[in-house]
Chain A
């Protein structure tokens, strides 16, 4: 297990090594000149402001929504549970495309915050809802019986147990903010990633782009440290599979209407607006935008990459998650860290690293599908990891030990107990990875074999030439493909919650 994890971590260091190597190879003077210039200051301000404003908004929307859905007498809470996860089916750049159609003058940081928040809050909502649904109400009941009121129970008992889910979600949101290209390019908001893409389009892997990438890596390191620090060390697992009591729901009473209205507003903005404008462009485009010889191959290729990439990612993520939960140490944190750093690099940097390394070291696999899948695995490993880790955290090792003490071989008990208990989390992780691959743009642009088009690259190509009608079928297909995955995630979170 350790050996596997180390190998995977080493592999994931390829892009980071590339950036580091390029920074060193550039030479100190040139590097300083390219890093400490006013443009980098502008980008830094933009990127930091975006993160500082968007992440708290996502936390409030995500955790608040999850709490309303899982722990209050919200009417239609089953329906809302799906509705709040639904925006995940809308890729951020499709969201941006729709919002730009609605309000053509959208630009700058506040537009960036709007689109990023609406696109990414489900990344907090889903783990928060899953964790809330699975909390052992006995702990809360004990707290209440010891004299705490509802609010005190929420802040002193419930929220601390959500810590892993919330910090994990916040990290995912931050990483998305650092890596997103299409959504921000469309509203002319410059972050490090859009600036690196601009450099790439002018110079392929020029020095200035590489230097921007090293600043981005530095930002990512700061984020990761913050997450590790705030994760905490407390353990929350039930021992024994006794029937968990149903959690009690807090009566909403006269807060029912405001709650319904605010959830409706969020859903309309995050899901209604994008779907509406995609449909509007589709109708405006008529039947001629459905050129089957163009979109069918794109659809099939997207499906294939999504499925293969998701399966491989889960298999690869397991050893890491296992080490992190079962044998936590400075070493396992280091391993995880190496993956997070890689995945926080924009797809473009990972793509560039793979292009350069394959051309120079292994020309035999240059521009093959395998390289693109490998890039997807590195980019989306954390999505699988976050899920697997919280799944494993709920499968206490004592159960494994118990199975072994009853005479099962370690491997058998591992397969029958640990793997089985983490299977729902693994499926959730796979769905997230599939979603990400369907919507991935930049690495795909770089690494796809000649002639390969995915839904995302076709959508981007059309919308860049402001052929909004021509882009609409691809947007719709991406949404339709993502929708079942999002629903699966929702089902999964219910299952894990034991309902």
Chain B
């Protein structure tokens, strides 16, 4: 009798398992179709490679203003640009936001962007967007060397970013070569100085640098005294200073200026996919973030990225963008594919 009962339990368990199987076939699909269709029905999908927190601030304000729901897929710049290219016309993305422009150029070259609305383009000065009008700048960030004052005196600071490849800098500086941020800096170097100089600099870098995952961890390492300096973007420093400063109180930012490749200002981009079935809402989103309200989120929020549109000033804590003496680089010319190839060759990736 006991055996019978156990067999029954066994059958019940098996039935539950089969039920689970059936649920797998329908439940998650219908679940995602449920939320997916909610997104597809009355909202847009953003492929976001910008900082999640900044994108969320934009999205919350946009949804509050327009009632349009936004679904986010989070990733990194060139990961998502390549993903969009693979997805082609079937891409679920309506809008693509990046931290740096090379990924935008890649999608543009694949012919997947729709023209940005004229009203949006009018909000952004020409130096922060490509001449083609296929995407627009949404924010900007500057290259910076953060260093430990106790380890490097001011007169020993490098005149140019190129000096970091020299032997005296061996083991002294950190970077996050895997990030789109650093790769954008290399793409500017490639555009400004050419392939041979870039190859040589990357080879010197491989000898000299210490790899960290992410700019914030690189800065944290300088702060903790693990390494003397780190080549990162400016806002990691100001963001941390605005919070507790526990990862940045021992570091000092140093701008190369003088139109050095190391003074490169990288433009974050936004574009609407040609394949979007919600083009109107997607264009409205882009217009919103480059508009006054969207740009003021850059000024007043916690991102500390530079504002680029609608005449909005950047956060007061930052060095004004015109004082940075950045080199002139056409964002449309930055080549991400060649950069990753060169970095792979140099053994950095």
The residues of A with any CB-CB pair to B shorter than 8 Å are 34, 37-39, 42, 104-105, 185-186, 188, 190, 195, 198-206, 208, 304-305, 307-309, 311-312, 314-315, 355-356, 359, 363, 366-370, 372-373, 415-416, 419-420, 423, 445, 449-452, 461, 464-466
Contacts and interface: CB of A to CB of B under 8 A. Distances in A.
B183 A202 contact: yes
Contact of A203 (B31, B36, B82, B92): B82
Contacts of B7: 415-416, 420
Contact of A208 (B14, B80, B349): B349
Contact of B216 (A42, A105, A466): A466
A164 B20 CA distance: 31
Interface of B: 3, 6-7, 10-11, 13-14, 16-18, 20-21, 23-25, 27-29, 31-33, 35-36, 39, 45, 51-53, 71-76, 78-83, 85-88, 90, 92, 178-180, 183, 211-214, 216-217, 220, 224, 226, 247, 336-337, 340, 343-345, 347, 349
Contact of B78 (A42, A186, A204): A204
A29 to B, nearest CB: 15
Contacts of B29: 368-370
A141 B25 CA distance: 52
Given A188-B213, A201-B75, 4 more contacts: A203-B340, A449-B32, A451-B73, A466-B220
Contact of A451 (B27, B39, B51): B39
10 contacts: A38-B347, A105-B226, A203-B79, A208-B340, A311-B17, A369-B29, A452-B32, A465-B52, A465-B214, A466-B217
B10 A206 contact: no
Contacts of B6: 420
Contact of B24 (A198, A370, A461): A370
B349 A202 contact: yes
Contacts of A449: 32, 35-36
Nearest to A301: B31
Nearest to A294: B56
Given A195-B349, A315-B17, A204 B82 contact: yes
A365 to B, nearest CB: 8
Contact of B28 (A37, A200, A369): A369
Nearest to A420: B10
B256 to A, nearest CB: 24
A461 B76 CA distance: 11
Contacts of B33: 368
A304 B35 contact: no
Nearest to A462: B52
A419 B24 contact: no
Contacts of B53: 465
Please report whether the interface of chain A is mostly helix, strand, loop or mixed according to DSSP.
helix
Nearest to A200: B79
B73 A450 contact: yes
Contact of A308 (B27, B247, B349): B27
A373 B90 CA distance: 22
A466 B247 contact: yes
Given A201-B76, A451-B71, A415 B11 contact: yes
A206 B17 contact: no
Contacts of A366: 87, 90, 92
A86 to B, nearest CB: 26
Contacts of A359: 86-88, 90
A369 B31 contact: yes
B86 A450 contact: no
A84 B82 CA distance: 44
Given A204-B82, A308-B28, A449-B32, A465 B216 contact: yes
A200 B39 CA distance: 27
A133 to B, nearest CB: 21
A450 B11 CA distance: 37
B336 to A, nearest CB: 8
Contact of B83 (A198, A204, A309): A204
A355 B86 contact: yes
Residue of B21, B39, B51 most packed against chain A (CB within 10 A):
B21
Nearest to A452: B32
B344 A208 contact: yes
Given A105-B226, A369-B29, A201 B74 contact: no
Contacts of A200: 79
A113 to B, nearest CB: 19
A195 B79 CA distance: 14
Nearest to A194: B213
Contacts of A369: 28-29, 31-32
A178 to B, nearest CB: 19
B214 A464 contact: yes
B21 to A, nearest CB: 6
A367 B73 CA distance: 11
B21 A311 contact: yes
Nearest to B27: A308
B344 A204 contact: no
A200 B83 CA distance: 10
A450 B337 CA distance: 26
Given A415-B11, A450-B72, A451-B39, A202 B78 contact: yes
A233 B45 CA distance: 55
Contacts of A309: 24
Contacts of B180: 201-202
A332 to B, nearest CB: 23
B224 A105 contact: yes
A450 B79 contact: no
Contacts of A466: 214, 216-217, 220, 247
A202 B36 contact: no
B28 A312 contact: no
Given A105-B226, A199-B349, A304-B31, A311 B24 contact: yes
Given A104-B224, A415-B11, A206 B340 contact: yes
A157 B179 CA distance: 54
Contacts of B72: 450-451
Contacts of A445: 75
